[in-house]
Amino acid sequence: MSDQDVKAAFNAIFKSSNENISARFSDKSRVIVQWSHCSASAGVESIAEQLASQLSESAVLVVSGCDGACYEAPVVTVGNVRHVRVAPEDIPDILSNLANVHSQPAAESHPFFSRQTRIALDGCGTLESTHIDDYISNGGYSGLAASLQSAPEQVIEEVKASGLRGRGGAYFPAALKWEAARNVRNTPKYLVVNCEEGEPGIFKDRHLMEGVPHRILEGAMIASYAAGVTEAIIYINAEAELSAERMGSAILAARALGLIGKNILESGFDLEVEIRRGAGGYVCGEETTLLNTLEGYRREPRLKPPFPTEAGLNAKPTVINNPETLASLPYILKNGASVFKAIGTEADAGTKIISLSGVVNRSGVAELPMGTTLRDIVDQVGGGPKAGSSLRMLGVGGPSSGVFPVSMLDTPIKGGMLHESGVMLGAGGVIVLDDRVSLLEVMRNLASYNANESCGKCTPCREGTPRMVNLVDKIAAGDGKSQDIEEMEYLARVVNSASLCGLGQAAGNPILSALHFFGDELAMLTTA
């Protein structure tokens, strides 16, 4: 293998993809329909069927994922005009180029997109999800080609220099996992792409799988090459049918071009990739629980150490990465670590995909530089609270995190803890809540979710999480005493400090953050 062999093999694939794109579109226009899990619920299937049946010979229908502006679904783009909230009866007017059927400006001037920096999500909503040629002709797999022209150790050092940390919630430096696995003398080595995404209020990974599945695959190949992995597994939530379908198609297309299998791009690097479906469940996102389910055991965590990079799947070295983490790698290897590191902040390089929902005018997924404030996310990206809504609090980071009052809106996003009370960025969910939602209702929903999702293996989580729910119910019923609040805080701290896995170790955070920021309000609901 030589650098020239890799370069020649990639150039041949790149040339072929460009020729295929030219032949397919030639002088024809692209009519793009965004088909994803959000638009599916808004009836995009019938719109796609009508488009396919009514397009003239001078146009080609392109199926993409959602560009993140879920609140506008279904979206059909003709030229540089985005037609939003399209109904079946709008199709004839759109295709006859009549004026502005529910039209919006192009993405670069659209208020939802103008503050974003798109790395992982780049091309979502424009690239054809189901065709590999579109991805390759737009620079896809060039990051892999660059990696294969370097030694694995050089790839590890480049990603270290970029400052990329895992985007699944723990924010562990990505390249350190690869280095640890590479240094273990035991084979085979595995990579598991953790696409479980079971928590409420988080839907970024599905957007990536449905919109740019090849970018996840390319990132997985780069990570596998660096870590010495020969088998990669894409672990997808059982309910994410469209995501699994798109990833499956991407794997088949990449294998057909020799990008998966033996001697990839004439480099001597071998990699097999397969999809496994998770059973569903928040705790399955915990990496050792995930490994247990892959091996056919109960969905419960393992004791650490040993860590997965030492003894993971089948007791072999295993790297576990989130798809958002992997989707950042092609950009880093193509543009260099310094370019990625220049985005975000000194301590937290790059971007983070935020899943934004609740009473905002513009809900969806947005990729923003680290350091962006919650206020900018709510007001600039989300368009502020809906008319008639008065912002009361934010649910940040999912059920393993907590709640912020309005006074914390100027908090910048960063990896890990956003506040000592237990609020953390996690996987990047931001749920905007107004004054129609009671504090106790929010506390109960988050606490009961953690209680229901507990695997029951360790006593603190099994017994402590339902007890916290009972105490919230007692206060809500008007029977609360001041000592109930004291017990609730004590339990939350015990559960966090004594539980076995990440679910239990953060299960008290919703309670602790609510008590920290809204303690006086809760005290007024109890008696001495």
Which of 94-98, 217-221, 233-237 shows the lowest mean pLDDT across its residues?
A: 94-98
Tell me whether domains 139-341 and 439-523 share a fold.
no
- On the question of pLDDT at 279 being above 90, the answer is no
Q: DSSP states of 13-74 as a string? A: HHHHHHHHHHHHHTTPEEEEEE-SHHHHTTTHHHHHHHHHHH--TTEEEEEE---S-GGG-S
CA dist., res. 287 & res. 196, Å (int)? 10
Q: Which fold has domain 139-341?
A: Rossmann fold (3.40.50)
What's the pLDDT tens digit per position in 151-183? 999 999 999 999 999 999 889 999 999 999 999
Cis peptide before 188 (omega within 30 of 0): yes
What's the pLDDT tens digit per position in 98-145? 445 556 655 667 899 999 999 999 999 999 998 999 999 999 999 999
What is the pLDDT averaged over residues 460-478?
95
What is the pLDDT averaged over residues 229-237?
97
Question: What's the CATH number of domain 351-434, 2.40.30.40, 3.30.300.10, 3.40.50.300, 3.10.20.600?
Answer: 3.10.20.600
What's the pLDDT tens digit per position in 54-107? 988 888 999 999 999 999 999 999 888 889 999 999 998 888 874 455 566 556
Q: Which amino acid is at 411?
A: T
Per domain, the residue ranges of the chain are 25-109, 139-341, 351-434, 439-523
Task: Give 376's DSSP letter.
Answer: I
**CATH architecture entry for 439-523:** Up-down Bundle (1.20)
pLDDT at 81: 85
What's the pLDDT tens digit per position in 393-405? 999 998 889 999 9
From the CB of residue 329, how many other CB atoms can be counted at a distance below 10 Å? 32
CA dist., res. 137 & res. 82, Å (int)? 23
pLDDT at 109: 74
Burial code (b: 16+ CB inside 10 Å, e: under 16) for 175-189 equals: bebbbbbbebeeeeb
pLDDT at 66: 97
End-to-end Cα, the chain, rounded Å: 77
**Residue 423, H or E segment:** none
pLDDT at 99: 44
Q: Which fold has domain 25-109?
A: Glutaredoxin (3.40.30)
From the CB of residue 202, how many other CB atoms can be counted at a distance below 10 Å? 25
State the chain's mean pLDDT as an integer. 94
Which of 69-73, 300-304, 488-492, 513-517 shows the lowest mean pLDDT across its residues?
A: 300-304
What's the pLDDT tens digit per position in 330-382? 999 999 999 999 999 999 999 999 999 999 999 999 999 999 999 999 999 99
pTM over the 0.85 mark = yes
- On the question of pLDDT at 146 being above 90, the answer is yes
User: Residue 462 corresponds to which tokens in the numbers above?
Assistant: 């099994």
What's the pLDDT tens digit per position in 311-332? 999 999 999 999 999 999 999 9
